[in-house]
Amino acid sequence: MSEANRSIFQHFLDEVVERGNLSVIEDVISPQFLNHDPRLPHLPPDLEGEKRFFAELHASFESLEVQVQEFRAFQELVVCRSTWSGMHVGTFAGLPCTRRRVSLEVVDILKFRDGFLMERWGLLDHWHLLNQLKGDPT
């Protein structure tokens, strides 16, 4: 089952993050999904919050790419460490379009059940992303 869950999440990264195919969200994420670490503070920790996050992400960034550094699967858990990058083309986190290419370090710990993503714990390097959007190289 662990390899199947890894494949499901890889499909999610390819379709939702890189291609912006938001219809895949409901194919992968359970209606009972719980995000223990919502990606943005104003979003609810559920399926609706994930839909809103990826809609906002694709409204604000184009040419999104995911570079996976590490991918591990253990029974019902998948751990993925990756870098997301894209061109900032719209307001994000209150910051207007900069046309800068930016990157974001992401660590996801995911729990699957019956082929659906049920829970997520994660870390996003928001500080580094916001500094890039503000033009601060640190």
Structure tokens at 111: 């729990």
Q: How confident is the model at residue 137, as a pLDDT? A: 62
CA separation for the pair 24, 92 (Å, rounded): 23
Looking up residue 105, the CATH number of its domain turns out to be: 3.10.450.50
Q: How confident is the model at residue 38, as a pLDDT? A: 82
Q: How confident is the model at residue 41, as a pLDDT? A: 84
* Helix or strand (DSSP H, E) at 67: strand 61-74
At residue 67, what is the residue type? Answer: Q
Domain housing 8: 2-134
Q: How confident is the model at residue 1, as a pLDDT? A: 65
- Based on the structure, what is the number of domains in the chain? 1
Torsion 85-126-79-29 (CA) sign: negative
> Around Cβ 73, how many Cβ atoms within 10 Å?
20
Residuewise pLDDT in 10s, the chain (138 residues): 689 999 999 999 999 999 999 999 999 999 999 999 988 888 999 999 999 999 999 999 999 999 999 999 999 999 999 999 999 999 998 889 999 999 999 999 999 999 999 999 999 898 999 899 988 765
